[in-house]
Structure 1
Amino acid sequence: MAKIFVTGSTDGLGFLTAKRLIKEGNEVVLHARNQQRAEEVKLKLPQAKNVVIGDLSSQVEIESLVKQINDLGPFDTIIHNAGVYTGNKKLTFQVNVLAPYLLTALVKKPKRLIYISSGMHYGSCLDLKNLSNLDYSGSKLQILLFAKLLARLWSDVTTTVVDPGWVPTKMGGPAANDDLTLGYTTQVWLATLDDAGISGTYYHHMKPDRYDSRVDNQATQNKFLIALEKITGVKLPQ
């Protein structure tokens, strides 16, 4: 049994991931954006160990969320699942990039970190001088870049990245033609996998997959980290 925290776990892939992990006997803590969503998910998944609350679009709320998580931790695995798909660049950057960065930097280190990217990251824009100038695809490139950086700097944590595919969730929409179950199976598998040798691997449907090679450039990784630290005022522990 593992102790696991999943962000954005009131619906979609986060909820399905948490549900399967609970079914397999793990101790799972959920995350909701607000009190109402927390109450709703408690009814749907009463077996969950706890639900922490915080809006990932607000750094103040993220800092409150950090305290809640650390009070319940440390965790064996943290799955950074939460994300938004919107034309609002500021919101996209805050939720999809800054929130996972802050939670990673401020929450006690787990044994395993899993980040959700997307096949849409490939070839997207990366403006290191203006990180918030991005769309959804760009945010998923940035989170992959961050995970690759972590895999290099944090040898004591197994860091992996998952492309769940285009699946028919609320975000993916009804036109999505990928397999919904495969959309969360990789995260479930990685959440309890004791294999440090896979750190830095990018997965799609249980198998390593191709990704944008720019994320392996160490100079790019370092510039990205410096920019994140400057924007947030929070340094990543080394």
Structure 2
Amino acid sequence: MARILVTGSTTGIGLETARTLQGLGHAVVWHARSKERVADLGSHAEVIVGDLASLQQTRELAGAAGHCDVVFHNAGINWENERRETGDGIERVFQVNVLAPYVLTALMPRPQRLVYLSSSLESGGVADLADLQYRAKPWDGRQAYSDSKLHDVALAWAVARRWPSVYSNAVDLGWVRTRLGGPYAIDDLPVGADTQVWLATGAGGALVTGRYFKRRRAQRPNPAAGDIRYQDGLLRACADLSGVELPA
């Protein structure tokens, strides 16, 4: 039985993934953005509460979670119509989708497996380290989201390269009928959660690292994801913004 953290596990894919893992007998650490979302999980659940749009709360989440065998960086936000900053003065999509997973990865005890949630839109992402937060270029919410999902693949691969003892991968879960995916999406929740569960259990060839999966099959992401200079530059930018270094 593994101890598994699933961020953003009160709704959608995160909830389905956590329920499936719990049904398989694993000890799930649930994550809720606020106390108001905890009640729906029941009193039996181990829940940590914190908003990933806050660097301080993200640091506290890392401490509250403790050691986990598997960490799913599932939580994220969709594109926004206008550029918004968090209380830390960081562009919101970048902070929640990229910087928060980085901080949790850097501060939590090293797990056996890491899974970073990406999207097929990463294929249109731009590895622009000079303006990660859209301070100079015009705001484009869909592009900012696509960029963040490319950053997530690069982050997963950078960790795989730096921590060879950890299985670190990224996942495109497909177009799933959730609040984020909308009612016209073609996949249902179990399909969306399947690859994450497969990677968590390590069964049937899932003990691999530095890969990008969809429906349990390795995919070729945006070529920029494999650029080591970009990976290292992204880690450096995340360390500078958060004040947290990824351990060697």
**Rounded Cα–Cα distance in structure 1 between residues aligned with 2:230 and 2:125:** 15
**Rounded Cα–Cα distance in structure 2 between residues aligned with 1:51 and 1:197:** 28
Aligned twin of 1:151 = 160
Identity, % of aligned pairs? 42
- Cα deviation digits, residues 83-142 of structure 1 (max 9, x gap): 000315421111101110100001111100011000110032221012122611111000
Question: Unaligned stretches of 5+ in structure 1?
Answer: none
For residues 95-114 of structure 1, what are the structure 2 equivalents within 5 Å?
A: 95-114=96-115
- Does 1:163 pair with 2:172? yes
**Rounded Cα–Cα distance in structure 1 between residues aligned with 2:173 and 2:221:** 13
For residues 175-194 of structure 1, what are the structure 2 equivalents within 5 Å?
A: 175-193=184-202
**Rounded Cα–Cα distance in structure 2 between residues aligned with 1:67 and 1:222:** 25
Secondary structure of 1:18's match? helix
Secondary structure of 1:28's match? strand
Question: Unaligned stretches of 5+ in structure 2?
Answer: 84-90, 135-142
- Does 1:28 pair with 2:37? no
Aligned twin of 1:66 = 62
Q: Is the 8 A contact 1:18 1:30 kept in 2?
A: yes
> For the structure 1 residues 76 and 212, does the alpha-carbon distance in structure 2 shift closer, same or farther, using more than 3 Å as the test?
same
Q: Is the 8 A contact 2:29 2:48 kept in 1?
A: yes
Q: Is the 8 A contact 1:29 1:52 kept in 2?
A: yes
**Rounded Cα–Cα distance in structure 1 between residues aligned with 2:102 and 2:14:** 18
TM-score normalised by the chain length of structure 2: 0.89
Q: Is the 8 A contact 1:158 1:196 kept in 2?
A: no
- Does 1:139 pair with 2:148? yes
**Rounded Cα–Cα distance in structure 2 between residues aligned with 1:41 and 1:196:** 29
Aligned twin of 2:79 = 86
Counterpart of 2:212 in structure 1: which amino acid?
Answer: Y
Aligned twin of 2:41 = 41
- Does 1:217 pair with 2:231? no
Counterpart of 1:171 in structure 2: which amino acid?
Answer: L
Aligned structure 1 segments of 4 or more residues deviating by more than 3 angstroms: 194-197
- Cα deviation digits, residues 162-218 of structure 1 (max 9, x gap): 100011101101121234321100001111106685101110011111211111111
Aligned twin of 1:77 = 70
Secondary structure of 1:52's match? strand
Aligned twin of 1:117 = 118
Q: Is the 8 A contact 2:117 2:171 kept in 1?
A: yes
Q: Is the 8 A contact 2:72 2:114 kept in 1?
A: yes
**Rounded Cα–Cα distance in structure 2 between residues aligned with 1:67 and 1:11:** 23
Q: Is the 8 A contact 1:31 1:53 kept in 2?
A: yes
1:152 to partner: Cα distance: 0.5
Q: Is the 8 A contact 2:68 2:111 kept in 1?
A: yes
**Rounded Cα–Cα distance in structure 2 between residues aligned with 1:202 and 1:215:** 10
TM-score normalised by the chain length of structure 1: 0.92
**Rounded Cα–Cα distance in structure 2 between residues aligned with 1:231 and 1:110:** 24
Aligned twin of 2:3 = 3
